[in-house]
Amino acid sequence: MSSPAAVRAICCIGAGYVGGPTMAVIADRCPHIQVTVVDLNAERIAAWNDPDLSQLPVYEPGLDAVVGRARGRNLHFSTQVEAAIAAADLVFISVNTPTKTRGLGAGQASDLKWVEASARTVARAARGHTIVVEKSTLPVRTAAVIQEILTAAQGEQAGSSFSVLSNPEFLAEGTAIEDLEQPDRVLIGGQDPAAVEALAEIYASWVPQERILRTNLWSSELSKLTANAFLAQRISSINGIAAFCEATGADVREVARAIGADSRIGPKFLQAGPGFGGSCFQKDILNLVYLCRHYGLEEVADYWEQVVALNRWQQQRIARLVITKLFGTVSGKRIGVLGFAFKADTNDTRESPAIRICQELLDEGAILQIVDPKVSERQITLDLGRPAGEGEGSWQQMSTVQQAAAGADALLLLTEWQQFAQIDWPAVAALMRRPAWLFDARAKADASAARAAGLQVWVVGEG
Ligand code: UDX
Ligand code: ADP
């Protein structure tokens, strides 16, 4: 099978948190390649084309500058899916793969509906030889499904041929541009060496060769699930130890520093918090669990499932702790919620711990005053399943910490936005009803300043 010697035109299906930033960086670093990002969602494409770069649909530090340099030159956003595929030598599939909500594997298996639809569109629209690259995180052996759909089309359409590659994206939100520009590694899995090298050549424009790893297809697919499972496992591990620290008088940050100094463990990803969120960790572990069960590996499945169970427990534990400390009831009490995104420096709320924690407090009758610098009221409405309102069991979005604190019995810090480290505690405490609490689930705020201002303070993992 022969592949084009050099890729000249790329199409990326899916203009989301992965497709948008990844293609922007490729276009920025490879001015000789035309990159078109397509999506069925016209509103999203319009936002990517907005002349005002602060209106891009994804918030990532540095993204506006990258898009500003490449857009209109060799970076395009379009709803013309088939035309962009037809013009491309290489197509990235970067669509959503959420957990299935019904049918076989519901609650665990990934829903490949959108991947399958994309493969069928590629099969229909592609011309000549096309390299098809899985970018979305997918269950192991999905490449075989894509290959089968494409092969069927090959029989129908004279002159079209395909090579399928796996090239998972390891970027983390909030640091996407940095991660893309200086990746620890780029992973390319595939069976067609010419296709593998054509994709490797694109990355080689800015990534050192020794960081471009080549593997077989299945290893590449499984490496992504495994990387996310290991990272999530570290968070559940430290969160479990945080609860133990609180019970025994130890301090989880001291413990994390002590164990992180062991070079075999390392210092990263040991920050105790309200539990991991984001679109990947839970979905990927549940998918791993599902696949392990499928292959009869019950003990392995149980082991990884516990990482998710502990994460849910941590979220519930924090919600209940707030209720307990506020004399066992939050009904009719105002609570200022600091942060709603699943981590700082993103507007993404998928699987944000704030969702479950806020829902539990709302169910108990709390009045939530939520402040987040990047998350919209529309998004919070979708996530909490109810519009903003007034009275018991309601929420409102506030634009400042002061507003969130007004008349509140407690502030609950859930996202580690830098601005929450710089709160003017005497001013904020004066607005609250006494006795007032600060619950800091990220250990981000200046706890001693809050205590000095008269608040009672709980910090995750502090005994
Ligand atoms: C993750 C992986 O890091 C990335 O490689 C993969 O491509 C996609 O999934 P992301 O979900 O964007 O990226 O963010 P990440 O920084 O990994 O954080 C995930 C969650 O873990 C967040 O809710 C974060 O607050 C939490 N976290 C992270 C902690 O609670 N403690 C830590 O020490 C690190
Ligand atoms: P991720 O975090 O993986 O990037 P997102 O949900 O942010 O996930 O983005 C996935 C995008 O893929 C969405 O904007 C969605 O509209 C788009 N998409 C899904 N299926 C198709 C399809 N068949 N053709 C084009 N775009 C699609």
pLDDT on residue 407: 98
pLDDT on residue 4: 47
| Active site (annotated) includes residue 245 | no
325 pLDDT more than 80: yes
Nearest one of 248, 254, 281 to 443, comparing CA atoms: 254
State how far the Cα of 181 lies from the Cα of 319, in Å rounded to an integer: 38
Closest atom, ligand 1, to C-alpha of 275: 30
Phi, psi of 205 (to 5 degrees): -60, -25
The residue from 11, 280, 292, 358 that is catalytic is 280
Which residue type is seen at 407?
A: G
Give the contacts of 415 (CB within 8 A, at least 6 positions apart).
338, 339, 340, 341, 342, 343, 344, 352, 354, 372, 442
19 pLDDT more than 70: yes
Q: Tell me what the mean pLDDT of segment 297-311 comes to.
A: 98
pLDDT on residue 138: 79
Closest atom, ligand 1, to C-alpha of 227: 5
Rounded to the nearest whole angstrom, what is the distance from the C-alpha of residue 354 to the centroid of ligand 1? 15
DSSP three-state, residue 403: helix
Mean pLDDT rounded to a whole number for the chain? 95
Please give the sequence-ordered ranges of beta strands (E in DSSP) within 209-333, or none if there are none. 212-215
Angstrom CA distances, 404 to 34, 288, 337, 387, stand at 46, 40, 7, 17
Give the contacts of 242 (CB within 8 A, at least 6 positions apart).
252, 272, 460, 461
State how far the Cα of 397 lies from the Cα of 45, in Å rounded to an integer: 27
Rounded to the nearest whole angstrom, what is the distance from the C-alpha of residue 231 to the centroid of ligand 1? 8
Which structure tokens are listed for 276?
Answer: 């991991």
Which structure tokens are listed for 413?
Answer: 């810090």
Whether 18 and 94 have beta carbons less than 8 Å apart is answered as yes
Which amino acids bring their CB within 6 angstroms of ligand 1? 169-173, 228, 231, 235, 269-271, 273, 276-278, 280-281, 342-343
Rounded to the nearest whole angstrom, what is the distance from the C-alpha of residue 207 to the centroid of ligand 1? 23
Between β-strands 394-397 and 410-413, what pairing exists: parallel, antiparallel or unpaired? unpaired
This model's pTM is above 0.75? yes
Angstrom CA distances, 68 to 29, 64, 140, 430, stand at 13, 6, 36, 44
Closest atom, ligand 2, to C-alpha of 97: 3
Rounded to the nearest whole angstrom, what is the distance from the C-alpha of residue 96 to the centroid of ligand 2? 5
Rounded to the nearest whole angstrom, what is the distance from the C-alpha of residue 118 to the centroid of ligand 2? 10
Q: Tell me what the mean pLDDT of segment 231-260 comes to.
A: 98
Closest atom, ligand 1, to C-alpha of 232: 21
Nearest CA to ligand 1 atom 25: 343
Sign of CA dihedral 365, 419, 316, 278: positive
Rounded to the nearest whole angstrom, what is the distance from the C-alpha of residue 267 to the centroid of ligand 2? 34
Strand partners, 439: 412, 458
Q: Tell me what the mean pLDDT of segment 57-77 comes to.
A: 97
- pLDDT digit string (tens) for 143-156? 888 999 998 877 66
pLDDT band at 256 (very low <50, low <70, confident <90, very high): very high
Closest atom, ligand 1, to C-alpha of 279: 11
pLDDT on residue 278: 96
Between β-strands 90-93 and 129-134, what pairing exists: parallel, antiparallel or unpaired? parallel
Alpha helices in 88-192 (DSSP H): 113-125, 142-156, 176-181
Which amino acids bring their CB within 6 angstroms of ligand 2? 13-19, 38-41, 44, 81, 94-96, 114, 117-118, 136, 279
* Ligand number with the minimum distance to the CA of 16: 2
363 pLDDT more than 60: yes
Domains defined for the chain, CATH in brackets? 4-215 (3.40.50.720), 310-459 (3.40.50.720)
Rounded to the nearest whole angstrom, what is the distance from the C-alpha of residue 67 to the centroid of ligand 1? 24
Closest atom, ligand 2, to C-alpha of 136: 3
* Ligand number with the minimum distance to the CA of 226: 1
Nearest one of 171, 105, 182, 160 to 137, comparing CA atoms: 171
DSSP conformational letter for 415: S
User: At which residue do the structure tokens 């200022």 appear?
Assistant: 336
Closest atom, ligand 2, to C-alpha of 117: 23
- pLDDT digit string (tens) for 185-243? 999 999 999 999 999 999 999 999 999 999 999 999 999 999 999 999 999 999 999 99
18 pLDDT more than 60: yes
Pocket test for ligand 2, best of 40, 85, 146 (most atoms within 8 A of CB): 40
Pocket test for ligand 1, best of 170, 184, 220, 280 (most atoms within 8 A of CB): 280
- Determine the number of helices (DSSP H) and then strands (DSSP E) in the chain: 17, 14
Q: Tell me what the mean pLDDT of segment 161-173 comes to.
A: 95
Sign of CA dihedral 1, 14, 115, 356: positive
* Ligand number with the minimum distance to the CA of 278: 1
pLDDT on residue 141: 83
pLDDT on residue 153: 78
Nearest CA to ligand 2 atom 11: 14
Nearest CA to ligand 1 atom 10: 172
pLDDT band at 5 (very low <50, low <70, confident <90, very high): low
- pLDDT digit string (tens) for 34-44? 999 999 999 99
pLDDT on residue 155: 64
Pocket test for ligand 2, best of 41, 95, 132 (most atoms within 8 A of CB): 95
441 pLDDT more than 80: yes
Strand partners, 132: 91, 164
Nearest CA to ligand 2 atom 16: 41
State how far the Cα of 336 lies from the Cα of 438, in Å rounded to an integer: 9
* Ligand number with the minimum distance to the CA of 342: 1
Of the two residues 12 and 112, the one the predictor is more confident about is: 12
Rounded to the nearest whole angstrom, what is the distance from the C-alpha of residue 276 to the centroid of ligand 1? 7
377 pLDDT more than 50: yes
- pLDDT digit string (tens) for 133-144? 999 877 778 888
